[in-house]
Amino acid sequence: MRAQIVSAVLLTLRCRSASGARSLRLAATVLMLSASAAAQDNLANPHEGNPGAISAGRALFETRCAECHGADAKGISGPDLTVIFAAGRSDGRVFQTVRAGIPGSIMPSSTAPDDELWAIVSYLKSLGTVSLVEYATGNADQGRDVYLANCARCHRVGSDGGRLGPDLSRVTRSRSRAGMTSAIRDPSAAMGVGYRTVALVTADGERIRGLKKAEDAFSIQIVDTSERLQGYLKTGLRQVQDQAESLMPPFGPDVLSEAELDDLLRFLTSVHEESDGP
């Protein structure tokens, strides 16, 4: 997968010479790639929510994954896996990651049967689920207005909204109220894997901030704040700087009162409550 991304980057690089004269893009390749990635993401888990699969998955996880991801899946040398669904990963995507591993990292691939991998996915998904009682207060209608005014340009809820940040349609299903509050009030405290901020300075001095999607020795691919996927040759850049601040601005109590936050969380919960049940 990473090899595919890199070759796509090489094909879609905007070849920015120092004069900035040449610009070359093969958008079709990107479309093809994102179509095949979408097909994988849509793979359905045949054992979703099945208690037998969840407990089998727990046992498999403890023997094969816990040494790096921790017995509680909150991460040791590997990342915290209790937040990946809230960060927008689909079941299919997690399945594919566990199947293929992550080349260039210590995350191994697996040749285990599909059923075993789906059981592990079911287990990981069960970890993220929290009780909706935490989100019982607040006014959903007012919360929708708060969302539209502050969050919709970067986050989807249902089919509407921006795509720079993770999908929030089910986020309160898998994140505690404390976790949500911290993600909104202080986004830089913990950023989702796959949402690393990078700042670039081009040869002509233009500054661009975005999320780093792929990088190798020669090139870097980012999604900029207008949600455009852009590839750059490093020789055409003056600076590439990894940043510890989230692209999401902090929403302190001066911007979002406690009551507004309460309404917002109630709205986000109401979105999935009807289909999932309490």
Binding site for ligand HEC (CB under 6 A): 64-65, 67-69, 77-79, 81, 83-84, 86-87, 89, 94, 97-98, 102, 105-108, 110, 120, 150-151, 153-155, 164-166, 168, 171, 175, 180, 183-184, 187, 191-195, 246-248, 251, 264
What are the two backbone dihedrals, phi and then psi, of residue 53, each rounded to the nearest 5 degrees? -65, -40
Beta carbon nearer to ligand HEC, 15 or 102: 102
Report in angstroms how near the CB of residue 142 gets to ligand HEC at its nearest. Answer: 13
Q: Nearest 5°: CA angle at 15, between 11 and 17?
A: 160
Both tokens of residue 136?
């019982």
The CA–CA distances, whole Å, from 146 to 20, 256, 257, 262 equal: 42, 9, 11, 10
Beta carbon nearer to ligand HEC, 29 or 110: 110
Beta carbon nearer to ligand HEC, 127 or 184: 184
Cβ proximity of 13 and 4 under 8 Å: no
The CA–CA distances, whole Å, from 246 to 182, 192, 210 equal: 13, 9, 10
Beta carbon nearer to ligand HEC, 68 or 130: 68
Report in angstroms how near the CB of residue 9 gets to ligand HEC at its nearest. Answer: 17
Distance CA 261, CA 23 (A): 44
Report in angstroms how near the CB of residue 110 gets to ligand HEC at its nearest. Answer: 6
Report in angstroms how near the CB of residue 68 gets to ligand HEC at its nearest. Answer: 3
Report in angstroms how near the CB of residue 66 gets to ligand HEC at its nearest. Answer: 8
Beta carbon nearer to ligand HEC, 30 or 152: 152
Beta carbon nearer to ligand HEC, 33 or 117: 117
Q: Of 121, 103, 158, nearest to 46 (Cα)?
A: 121
Distance CA 79, CA 245 (A): 18
Report in angstroms how near the CB of residue 27 gets to ligand HEC at its nearest. Answer: 23
